Structure 1
C-alpha cells in the first residue's frame, strides 16, 4: 500500500493506472471536464466497465455528463438519502491483477491540481487484498445499480439548474467569481459579518436630515418607474433624475433637487447625450430589470447587453446608477466617490473592476452580508432604508 499526499504524485499515479489497466470501475461524488485526466479518460473510454458519479450540490460539471449521455456504462446518482460521497477508483486486468486508488480525491480538475488530498493506493499483493477487492466491488456494484443513465433531456434540465446554482456555490466557497487575488474568508470581513444594528448605526452617522433626503430620492425614483411601462416614456427631466444628471424636476417634485445622491453622473458626457436623446437601448436595458421580485444573473446580463451596445466600454458608474435607482434593494452605484472605501471594506482589489466583477465580487458579497440577509428595522425610517439597503452603502462609503 502507498499513501499519496500531493497532487503531482496523485496525477502521475492516476495517469499510469489509466494506461496500465484495461478495466475501469469507479464511484465518485463529483466529476469535471476539460482537464487532462478527463481527456485521457475519453481516449480510453473503451476500458470503462462501470462508472457512477454523484450530482449532489450540482458540483458535477454538465460537460462531463454530456460526454456520457445514453452511455450504459456511466451512470449518475440523482438524489440519494444523504450525500453520495465515495472516491473509489478500481483498475484491473484480471482478478489477481488490480490496483485501487481510494481516498479524498474526486474526479475534478481541482483535486488533481490544487486541492489538499490524501489517497491510498492498494494492489492485489497487499495484506487482506481479496477482502478489500470484494468489498470494493460490492460498493461499486451497489452504487451502479442505484444510478441512472442520463438522457439528453435529463442533461438539459440539469444544465439549466447547474447554471442557476453556480453563484451560490461560488459564494459558499468564498470565491465570488474568478478574481485573481486570493479571497479572504467571508467570516473575516467585517462588512459581511456586520449586524443590522451596526449597519444602521453607521447610516445614522450621516445625519437624519441627510438620510431623509436620500430616502426621498429613492421614493421619487420608484414613483417614476411605476408611472410608466418603459424608461423612454418618462420626460426629459424625469429621465435625467433617474440617470443622476442635472434636472429641473425640482420645480414639479419636492426633493428632486437631490438628484445627485447615490451617484452624480454630471461629468459623463456620452451617457448624458444618450439620456438627452432618449436612447431606446438604455430603455430596453432597464426593461430587463424587474421592478420587484428576485434578480437573476440573467437579468443583469441582459441589461448589460443593451447598455453596452448603447455605451461600449467599462462605464460602471453610469450603469450602476441606473440599476441602483430601479432596484436599490439589490444594487449600489459604484463610482469614484465611494469605490475606494467600498473595495477596502470588502477587501477586494479595485484595479480592473468591471461589470462581471461588480456582480461577482460586490453584489454577491452584499447578498451574503449579515445586515443584508437579516434586516430588523425598528421604525419607519429604518424600514425605508431596509428596502434600499444596497444603494444605501453609498451613505457609508461616500467620500466627497
Structure 2
C-alpha cells in the first residue's frame, strides 16, 4: 500500500497497471483524452470489463465519449442524485491478483499534469484488502447498472451543451484562451471584483471633463446606429466619427470624437472609411444591435473586416466595435493596452484578434461591475449601456 501525490509517478504507475493486468474495472467522475494514457487505454480496449464515467457539469470530453460509442462495456452516468464523483481504478488478473488505485484523480489531462492529486494504491497482498476488493466490485457493479452507453445522437446532443459550458469552466478556473499567460484566480484580480458603485465613481473622476465628453460620444454613436440601419448609409463625416477619425460632423459634442480611441494615424483605415468600403459595413452588420453577442458574431465580423484590411488592424476594428456595441467591446489601442493588461493579468505581447476575445472580452464579461450594473440615474444608465467601452477612461495613458 502506498500514497501517490506526484503526477509523474501516478502516470508511470497507471502505465504499469494497464500493461500488467488483463481486466479494467473503473468508476470515475470525469474523463478526457489524457496524453499517452488515453492512447494506451484505446490500445488495450479489449481489457475493459466495465468502465463507468460521469458527465456531471459537462466536464467529460466528447472525444473520450466518441471513442466508446455503442460500447456496452463503457457506460455514462447521466443524471445522478447529487454528483457522480468516485475515482476507482481496479486492475485485475483474478480475485487473488489485483491492484486498486483510489483517491482524487479523474482520468483527465489536468489530473495527470498540473492538478494536485492524492491516490492510494492497494494490492491483494495488503492487510484488510479482501473487504476493500469486494466493496469496490459491488460499487462498480451497481453504478454500471445505472449507466448508459452513448450512441451518435446522444453524443451530438452532449457536444452542444458541452461547448457552451467550456467558457464557464475555464473562467472559473482562471484560464482564458491559450495565450500561455499564467492563470490568476478571479478573486485576486481587483478590477474583476470591483462593484458597480466603485466603477461608476472612478470613471466620473476622469480629468478635463472626460466623463461628460465620453457621454457625448456614446450618445451620438448610439443615435447614428439607431437611425442608420447600415454603416454604409451614414454620411462620410458620420462614418469618420464612428471610426475615430477627424471629421466635420455638426452635432454638439462631436468634437470629442477622439475619446475611446483616435485612429487618425492609420491612413489605410482612414481611406477605407472615406471610400465607404462595403466589407467594413457588412462586417459591422454581423454584430447584432442588441441582445447577446457571441464569439461567432465576432468571428464573422473579423473575417469580413480582415478581407478589407489585411493584417492585425485590431485598434481600428475594436474602435468600430466599441461604438456599435459599447456594452460588449472596448477599443484596445496603444494608449490603454499596457495598463489594462497589467490590471487584468493578461500577457501584453502578441495580442491578436483571437486573444482580444479570449483573454480580454471574456475576462471583462466575468467582472462584477459588468455582470451587476446598478444605474441610479439616466446618466448612469447611459454608462451601463456602454460599460465595457468606458473601461478606456480607467486605463487611458496620454
Q: TM-score, normalised by structure 1?
A: 0.95
Q: CA deviation at 1:209?
A: 4.1
Q: CA deviation at 1:328?
A: 0.6
For the pair 1:297 / 2:295, whether they are aligned, the reply is yes
Match of 2:58 in 1: 58
Q: In structure 2, what is the Cα distance between the partners aligned to 1:392 and 1:174?
A: 24
Q: CA deviation at 1:4?
A: 0.9
Q: CA deviation at 1:137?
A: 1.2
Q: Deviations over 1:256-297 (max 9, x none)?
A: 222211111111122222222222222222122111111222
Match of 2:311 among 304, 310, 313: 313
Match of 1:360 in 2: 358
For the pair 1:327 / 2:325, whether they are aligned, the reply is yes
Superposed, 1:247-286 pairs within 5 Å as 247-249=247-249, 251=250, 253-286=251-284
Q: In structure 2, what is the Cα distance between the partners aligned to 1:79 and 1:248?
A: 62
Match of 1:179 in 2: 179
**TM superposition outliers: structure 1 runs of 4+ over 4 Å:** none
For the pair 1:379 / 2:373, whether they are aligned, the reply is no
CA RMSD of aligned residues (A): 1.6
Report if aligned partners of 1:189, 1:347 keep a CA contact under 8 Å in 2. yes
Superposed, 1:139-178 pairs within 5 Å as 139-178=139-178
Superposed, 1:1-400 pairs within 5 Å as 1-33=1-33, 35-206=35-206, 209-249=209-249, 251=250, 253-400=251-398
Report if aligned partners of 2:286, 2:301 keep a CA contact under 8 Å in 1. yes
Report if aligned partners of 2:286, 2:300 keep a CA contact under 8 Å in 1. yes
Q: In structure 1, what is the Cα distance between the partners aligned to 2:214 and 2:82?
A: 49
8-17 vs 367-376, which moves further: 367-376
Report if aligned partners of 1:52, 1:147 keep a CA contact under 8 Å in 2. yes
Q: In structure 2, what is the Cα distance between the partners aligned to 1:277 and 1:71?
A: 60
Structure 1 residue runs without a partner (length 5+)? none
Q: In structure 2, what is the Cα distance between the partners aligned to 1:142 and 1:38?
A: 25
Report if aligned partners of 2:241, 2:254 keep a CA contact under 8 Å in 1. yes
- 3-state SS of the aligned residue for 1:182? coil
272-281 vs 77-86, which moves further: 272-281
Report if aligned partners of 1:183, 1:348 keep a CA contact under 8 Å in 2. no
Q: CA deviation at 1:208?
A: 8.7
- 3-state SS of the aligned residue for 2:3? strand
Q: CA deviation at 1:312?
A: 2.3
Q: CA deviation at 1:118?
A: 0.6
- 3-state SS of the aligned residue for 1:358? helix
Report if aligned partners of 2:76, 2:149 keep a CA contact under 8 Å in 1. yes
Q: TM-score, normalised by structure 2?
A: 0.96
Count the aligned residue pairs.
398
Q: In structure 1, what is the Cα distance between the partners aligned to 2:145 and 2:268?
A: 63
